[in-house]
Structure 1
């Protein structure tokens, strides 16, 4: 109720203002909104404006004005405040999320209560639940008056069942089937993965994205005049099923007549022509045309034209159904880098970061160099996250800064722990490692490992920038004692002491050449149950050997990250040989290639192939048995027990032993694996699962007639306790002597 008691016959000068009826709101708040001050003349014309101004605050439900001599009296009745909001019946959406949504429209505890807000509350709740596919929603609100001019609000929600998409029909499509057109849609009818993907729940945003995919599908196949005439979304009376109908007009297929480059071609036109992915006579494809524009823009970006625009200008001939395509190049100004800045490196020295930079200060900005610098920082392994921004320099039109933001992680500590492997059993280990000692990027480590299979001590050092040109240098000292029987191979024991040096020489951005020299002393201890091959070897060569070996390796690495890569590849070739005059003379060569193909933002396909071979030379007839290759296990052909594939030994007569894995002088391995996000954990980057097919075997000589195959599921987790690998595999063609192990896992490192 808005009233004004005209207790005055004419205008008067306000000598004082009094406010009556206030409970929670201060008088100062009223004075701030009241368009009248002491000393002004208050007339009948001003009373309406004063009442409207106070009412528009939303604080009051009744306002009256009175005059007492020269005093203006403002009588108010405050609206109640919301003391408590209770939400019941919600299951699909958390109470916190609903409370935040209601707060945005003005309903929250402590706020002024307004009856009109309840209509907005219902609209907002329906919007929230409709976005989750629940169209059978029922809402009941109850307002209870409390003491001290307060109210309590109770909202009872009956969510109902999720409405599922029953049918998606595309009307007017003649050139393609509905299944082909819908295969990349985010929305779908119910399938066996819908419980996780929720693709059978209608969403206006998802439908818009699917309509754009449909449009792109046709435009990429020459239907340049394709159009979506209308879209209908119908829900059944029981609010349980949704039918989506999309009406389209295909039009005709258009081909390219001419393709031209025009504008300011600041780069050699012959280079730009090589980037054009469309040509005369081809069916028009918007995808290929867009990729051409991007490729040209990226090429200009490498020359410093960071803000270059390459616009597609199609000229359509409706009579001949052809398109003349012109790519108009507008390079803009050439941009230079003013400063390269780093933020967040509290421990790592600035020089460690700058030596990874491929984008230099005071040179023109190259998009590929800026991104490559980010990748190199990410691959160091010292940081959890690396980001990059290129803001323009204030006051200039041709300069930018390149700012790298870094979130450091612990790169070294003392670890002592326990682990378990199906081969090694319980593993006790200790490790002191600092990958970035004193922030210099150098690595120092001491490791101890003790299990039923082996005992190992190792001390190592590596300087990745031994020279300013990026030549690395490292050395290591170690001792290893191994029990062959516990490792699923022949019965013998070895003790190995070694010392080695290694160097790495970068050939270019992606290739590295490595050299290493190792001095090794190997002692063999046979047992009463050692096979005939080992007894014969010891009788012929002795049981202790000193060898000096040299090795060379080449690596080509384009992986986007060192752990859980999603794109790029890696090739490795290595060769090792003991020098003539060593107690044993032999060589080993190996080649490995691995590549990751991103199929989408969540799915990655991996291919891996590896082949290795070794043999003796000079006074050594064959590759020594303790240098043999082995196959089977989580790092080889999964589904077969570790080290059990390939040739078997010959038990000594009367020993009563069965043949055991003896390894071979050559091996081959192949893997195909599809990685995808873990259901309900897609945001966690330290976990991934996959489906795989493995193939491989070990043999004497290059003989791979008896390949073994398996398929299954895998899981990997970089946990705080160390890397955990799990696989479930089924061999395809296991033989009588093969040792099948369907479930395999390993975990370890420090607690």
Structure 2
């Protein structure tokens, strides 16, 4: 045995020596003769569990130790990130592992933090390797400090300072404290656009989301500089010019300067306009699958008009989608303008290369942390192991988006390695809260404040089912109802809805009264989809209505109770149709909603037919304005020789009807002064949405003007133009964190002396 390895000698084998020996076997003086390990001892541990060291070491008692195994053990121990230094020493046949542990983070705290949420920042730091119980690494802490500074810059806090303090604690731990001096937000004080001649500087500045401070800056934060927002504004500026014929428009430079005190920002944009061009013609080149005429019908560019980049992009997109409908997922469509500068004309050439036809191998879903995969997948019309169809994929994406469960929905098409004729689809979704607290209120001198409230969950436990509870505390109409909807009661998409409700109806009256109509009932209905937008509904229910009390009872109620009795039981059967092709359920700008609902009671104590029709349409008027038209007609009739039941009357006035009038105040007036509603109803509503001045292009906050026309008529009353009520007004629409909020102030322009006026009304959580 070599004297170096005599039992009486202590033989250190440093980590660097072992690594060098493993890398350079030609150096025998640094090598350790192999031996059988009789024991392993670990020294230097303070917090780390010995099992962690043994697991990474890779050596056990009885194993043959060699330089290669020693070097591998050192690398594995360093890779754990728990140790600053590791050494191996040998005492006889005993392997001694000597470690120097890294300090562990004992606490992370912040001083002066106001701009960011503490818990969110702690989570982000932990994801970066800085958190209680994690090994301390100064380099990681320095990088985190720089990242926090960058986040402050993104918030326009250019004077913010971040100082990191590391304080040693007992048992080799450290406390990390980030001290922030945030300072004030830097504001955009001036935006200059130089080189513009065709359009005024004020017009071009109005296109930007970035703005100088105004009265809404506290909400929009548009006066805070962001490089991302500036780039988006420059693209908007470029689109504005290129959509007006300026094909060669270019942004020469965009300079951002900040004042010495880091409080004021000046943005200077220099542009070169070029000259406007007129399109002389459009020519197709390349492979159009022998369907040139079909593709020509998709061309949006019109010869003789100014060149519009938006029309060119729309044409390219339409071509790509049409190629996609034939299975060509990677079709290339290139626009090649041929410019004649002397004549200021351009010939547009659209060159197409379909590439190859592919089919979808697999569809994956990502980002659904709460919603189940099947809820997303059942909305897809593109199937696995079938030919790629771009139109079906777009329809599928829109259907998932219309669920209302996600803030964002996107679809990625990824090639399959080694399979040029296959692709995988990845559906990326971002969850959003699907529970809503809905509130509504109105104020009048008679009813004072009337409240409505509802709690609903549109995606219970991620199943896609709906559950809702509604409460109404109005003096004239009180409700307690529970509803549940299973949108996929069957695999074919047939929905099932169940309602259980109790409501009391008391007409508005000029005298105190104690009577009401109390209705308790339940219903079940099914929805059968016939197309992507059309659904037919059928249902049946059971209702019992009782006339409660007698003081101040209207004559019609007395007559009805005499003929039918104080208690009435009916079995209503419903059938309906709905078509909804709006682009959004919360903030629609185009499309429409059409509904037909028939309710008939062929059995029970009374027989009647109640019909309700609604047509609603949205029209975009440019990129920032939206016009909404809504019409609703209701008609009720009885058969069997008896009058139409008073508890099925239509009501009008107030929210969702004729604003400016009290809720349910329109219609027939009894001899007691009670507002009974009627058997016929007409609502015509017009709303024009415009952006709030100072809000830029924010569509979640808009003001609107409205005109409402309509009324309710009783038996024997004729629908005439003179009997119509009308109101005009203004309002505010805001997609708030609690849901859509509408505040309106209406002024009646056609009314009668007996009408009840309620000018101010609002609702939150429901659309019109």
Change (3 A) 1:542 1:340: same
Deviation at 1:596, TM superposition (A): 8.5
Alignment match, 1:363: 386
Alignment match, 2:199: 176
Deviation at 1:259, TM superposition (A): 0.2
Residue of structure 1 aligned with 2:646, choices 625, 632, 636: 625
- Matched ranges for 1:163-312 at <5 A: 163-236=186-259, 239-266=262-289, 268-312=291-335
SS across alignment from 2:311? helix
- How far apart are the structure 2 equivalents of 1:305 and 1:460? 42
- How far apart are the structure 1 equivalents of 2:433 and 2:232? 41
Change (3 A) 1:38 1:674: farther
Alignment match, 2:726: 707
Q: Is the 8 A contact 1:631 1:696 kept in 2?
A: no
- How far apart are the structure 1 equivalents of 2:270 and 2:149? 28
Change (3 A) 1:713 1:261: same
- How far apart are the structure 1 equivalents of 2:170 and 2:538? 84
SS across alignment from 1:174? coil
- How far apart are the structure 2 equivalents of 1:348 and 1:208? 35
Are 2:649 and 1:612 equivalent residues in the alignment?
no
- Report Cα offsets for 1:613-635 as digits up to 9, x if no partner: 31436566875432222234444
- Matched ranges for 1:578-597 at <5 A: 583-593=606-616, 595=618
Alignment match, 2:681: 666
Q: Is the 8 A contact 1:477 1:499 kept in 2?
A: yes
Deviation at 1:378, TM superposition (A): 5.8
- Matched ranges for 1:539-550 at <5 A: none
Residue of structure 1 aligned with 2:711, choices 665, 682, 698: 698
SS across alignment from 2:387? coil
Change (3 A) 1:462 1:153: closer
TM-score (norm 1): 0.68
Q: Is the 8 A contact 1:343 1:405 kept in 2?
A: yes
Alignment match, 2:760: 742
TM-score (norm 2): 0.66
Alignment match, 1:53: none
Alignment match, 2:504: 482
Q: Is the 8 A contact 1:98 1:125 kept in 2?
A: no
Alignment match, 1:573: 596
Change (3 A) 1:33 1:97: farther
- How far apart are the structure 2 equivalents of 1:426 and 1:595? 29
Alignment match, 1:649: 669
Residue of structure 1 aligned with 2:338, choices 282, 291, 315: 315
Deviation at 1:560, TM superposition (A): 5.7
Change (3 A) 1:647 1:93: closer
Alignment match, 1:530: 553
SS across alignment from 2:347? strand
- How far apart are the structure 2 equivalents of 1:187 and 1:366? 40
- Report Cα offsets for 1:446-474 as digits up to 9, x if no partner: 989897855768898978566x7655677
Deviation at 1:288, TM superposition (A): 1.0
Deviation at 1:327, TM superposition (A): 0.7
Q: Is the 8 A contact 2:187 2:265 kept in 1?
A: yes
- Matched ranges for 1:99-178 at <5 A: 110-111=136-137, 131-134=154-157, 161-178=184-201
Deviation at 1:642, TM superposition (A): 2.8
SS across alignment from 2:632? strand
Change (3 A) 1:84 1:555: closer
- How far apart are the structure 2 equivalents of 1:742 and 1:628? 25
- How far apart are the structure 2 equivalents of 1:204 and 1:355? 40
- How far apart are the structure 2 equivalents of 1:297 and 1:531? 67
- How far apart are the structure 2 equivalents of 1:147 and 1:501? 67
Deviation at 1:156, TM superposition (A): 8.2
Change (3 A) 1:697 1:543: farther
SS across alignment from 1:398? strand
Are 2:32 and 1:28 equivalent residues in the alignment?
no
SS across alignment from 2:732? strand
- How far apart are the structure 2 equivalents of 1:531 and 1:436? 44
SS across alignment from 2:339? strand
- How far apart are the structure 1 equivalents of 2:453 and 2:148? 56
- How far apart are the structure 2 equivalents of 1:629 and 1:246? 60
- How far apart are the structure 2 equivalents of 1:409 and 1:154? 33
SS across alignment from 2:327? coil
Change (3 A) 1:536 1:247: same
Q: Is the 8 A contact 1:585 1:620 kept in 2?
A: no
SS across alignment from 1:733? strand
- How far apart are the structure 1 equivalents of 2:482 and 2:274? 71
Change (3 A) 1:664 1:717: farther
Q: Is the 8 A contact 2:508 2:675 kept in 1?
A: no
RMSD over aligned Cα, in angstroms? 6.1
Are 2:507 and 1:494 equivalent residues in the alignment?
no
Change (3 A) 1:269 1:579: farther
- How far apart are the structure 1 equivalents of 2:122 and 2:482? 57
- How far apart are the structure 1 equivalents of 2:472 and 2:286? 69
SS across alignment from 1:217? helix
Deviation at 1:171, TM superposition (A): 2.2
Gaps of 5+ in 2: 6-12, 31-102
- Report Cα offsets for 1:94-115 as digits up to 9, x if no partner: 89979989x9999x9955699x
Alignment match, 1:730: 745
- Report Cα offsets for 1:556-610 as digits up to 9, x if no partner: 122467677787542212334555998444442322325496998xx99583513
- How far apart are the structure 1 equivalents of 2:522 and 2:651? 24
Give the count of matched residue pairs: 659
- How far apart are the structure 2 equivalents of 1:460 and 1:143? 55
SS across alignment from 2:416? coil
- How far apart are the structure 2 equivalents of 1:182 and 1:365? 43
- Report Cα offsets for 1:29-72 as digits up to 9, x if no partner: 69869999994899xxxxxxxxxxxxxxxxxxxxxxxxxxxxxx
Comparing 367-376 with 124-133, greater Cα deviation is found at 124-133
- Matched ranges for 1:79-94 at <5 A: none
Change (3 A) 1:351 1:287: closer
- How far apart are the structure 2 equivalents of 1:436 and 1:92? 34
- How far apart are the structure 2 equivalents of 1:159 and 1:349? 42
- Report Cα offsets for 1:675-727 as digits up to 9, x if no partner: 999x99x99xxx976645453543215446311334333567786xxxx7765
Alignment match, 1:69: none
Alignment match, 2:67: none
Deviation at 1:477, TM superposition (A): 8.2
Deviation at 1:515, TM superposition (A): 3.8
Alignment match, 1:510: 533
Comparing 531-540 with 218-227, greater Cα deviation is found at 531-540
- Report Cα offsets for 1:185-209 as digits up to 9, x if no partner: 1322222222333332334443333
